[in-house]
Structure 1
Amino acid sequence: MGGEESKPVYRPPSPVYRPPSPVYRPPSPEFVTVLADKQVKEGEDVTLRCETNTRDVTVTWKKKDQKLCCVEGKHRTVKSDTTIYLEIKKADLGDEGNYTVTIQNSSGSASFSAMIIVEINEWRTVQWKPDPMISALKAFKISNPDVRELRFLLHGPVGAGKSSIVNTIKTIFEGHQFINCLTATDVTGESFTTKFEKYNVGNVPFTFYDVMGLEKDQLKGVHTDDIISAFKGHVPSNYEFKPHDPIDEDNKHYILNPTLNDKIHCLVSVIPADKISRMDDEVIQKMRNIRAEGSKLGIPQVVFMTRVDKACTITERDLTKLYKSKKIKEKMTECSNKLGVTMNCIFPVKNYHEETKPNEQLNCLMLEAFTQIVHSADDFLKRNSNQQKTVE
């Protein structure tokens, strides 16, 4: 029996090694140019624009940390090659805010933000030339010849800028930086004023009285009864306040029968614009109580709203746009609601702080406010003088 011929065993060919194709990864997204803050007038169009290093990105827009809901005819978002932009038609107050664009791909993401600030129509005008106001105030004559000077009392919370107002007004009238009136700082949070301090202004018949700042604890800061006694004319100059022991008739320094020369002719409440929302309710109530007592006596009352540059970006950049700022108007409204003061009695101002040279815009704002309280104080004298004549 013959042997069978063996069949070859099939072996498949060895596979040819082929390295895996590389997975394409786009470059990590970066901004070549970034968004810039924009300031526009109400009704104008505004565009936020930036460029990226790659076109391979998805784009997300947010406003105030919420995804932007685009409205047809109002918003338009565009990605053209590496350019990204957001268009907003006819900007209004609702469009003001912080906008963030995020670019993202499989290699990473990047974000950038910018502010859109909308200027509203100017609702109050200011005379932006200080010299005519200074000349008018220097030539001012008090209506009652028996009154030597118009007396203004500043009061408000610690750090509001009461003493800085005195420094600023004296700087304007005396032609050089005046820093003899010590001020409270954000660091210490304490009032440097402990006495019923009197400050004359240049060669004009105007005098400011500064008091300790108000605090939420009745045993801290100036006592409300002392402020009320002061504007009634019972407190002498340089009297040292005792928060736990307000002055009364038993005090040897108490002025029992004050004349118009002893009384305060205008009460000036001082509120910091950037801190209104955080002011303690107890301090606000103290100020309302003081105002109520002043109203009973017919004393004119105004508010100097300080630190406007800290509360508003528009104003920080350009004080002449103060009355075009939505933020400032909101702060004035908040101040009006908290203190019960009408808007036309609130004057936003800026004090000298970092400046070492005269600032004409700053001076004009303060002079506008100062002119108002001078006329208000003199009107108070006229009313009281007529009442005295009627009694006689």
Structure 2
Amino acid sequence: MSNVSSLKNKQIVVAVTGSIAAYKAADLIRRLKEFGAEVRVVMTHGAAEFITPLTLQTLSGHPVAMTLLDADEESAMGHIALARWADWIVIAPATADCLSRLVAGRADDLLSAVCLATEAPIAVAPAMNNKMWSNTATQSNLSLLRHRGIHVIGPASGDQACGEQGEGRLLEPLAIIEELSRLMVPGQLIDKHVMITAGPTYEPIDPVRFIGNRSSGKMGFALAQAARESGANVTLISGPVSLTTPTGVKRIDVETTEQMANAVDASLESCDIFISCAAVADYRPKLFEQEKIKKTEKQPLQIELQPTKDIVSAVTTSHNRPSFVVGFAAETQNLVEYAQSKLERKKLDMIAANWVGQKQGFAVDDNALHVIWNDGEQTLPLMPKTQLARELMTLIIKRFYAKNSIKNS
């Protein structure tokens, strides 16, 4: 297994809910301990109908926490202590009811209270009947949880305890640990400077009008968060958007393409990875009218446009070119062909291409990407942009180190 060293000395709360798959929690706890993790167990009363607390206490080496209003535990604010102790919280199995309680922000049992009080990352490994899994309510709950930063591990597909077949089986413990260790990999970009452009640019026509586009900046901001989670020093250069700056990220606000280009150039010398996610305006008015242009009823308005500076081409041809440059391509047709051409023409290391239209691309929460690099490609399916950003950042990190290991060999 890869990356299991990341589990060593991690403090993990394993939460078990009322599913027939609760028996697999015993092996999960045992394996986590084998890989060096410290484990505390929280069980719901439903889980105790399927596996005894004594079993999990024996495997974890610590008493199992079950009751929120336990006088002995709560005299020391037990649920807060657990929430603070945890480096990670892993709910396995996570029932449909558990997911809905997390979405609602409930705090009337120990597990939901711990999850609400913690600042640690949370992962859920769902387990339920395939019809419950595919139900719109469950899928909506999962989407909300992903948008809140909760990681979803699995489920698998196959035979189920009810006699049916389909998606909803709890992943096997080793598969859960494999995914968990991947999420925990620390410091892949420690001491690296990642610069990301995000959002639209506005090119003024007159004091009240501009040329712009529908970019929301969500993908760029999600990439900044993912890069920061990987340990990087992140500079986020953003056009006009209404988004909260990710924690620990240096943000520079700009409006025009020229301002964005200048901000990029000012930070380029120290940059290791440059990600051009912004949807910059390709053209700007040749002349800026100092006063508001008045509408005339019968006379058309003509505005002469000229190209704006090509930021990503300036980066790839600069003597301060970063080690790895990623571009984006938003297309309405010939997605792969246009992206491949842009990759070669602009001398990029990688390009992430996506369709834009009514339901995908700008101003939506979900997206899909076709990622291309010089000797490979990979499709990332439709998912929330927060999750998509992490998947793309994983690819960028892998290709960044592959390129630089070859260069240094």
Q: Which has the larger radius of gyration?
A: 1
Q: Provide the TM-score with structure 1 as the length reference.
A: 0.33
Relative contact order higher in (CA < 8 Å, ≥ 6 apart): 1
Which structure: greater helix fraction? 2
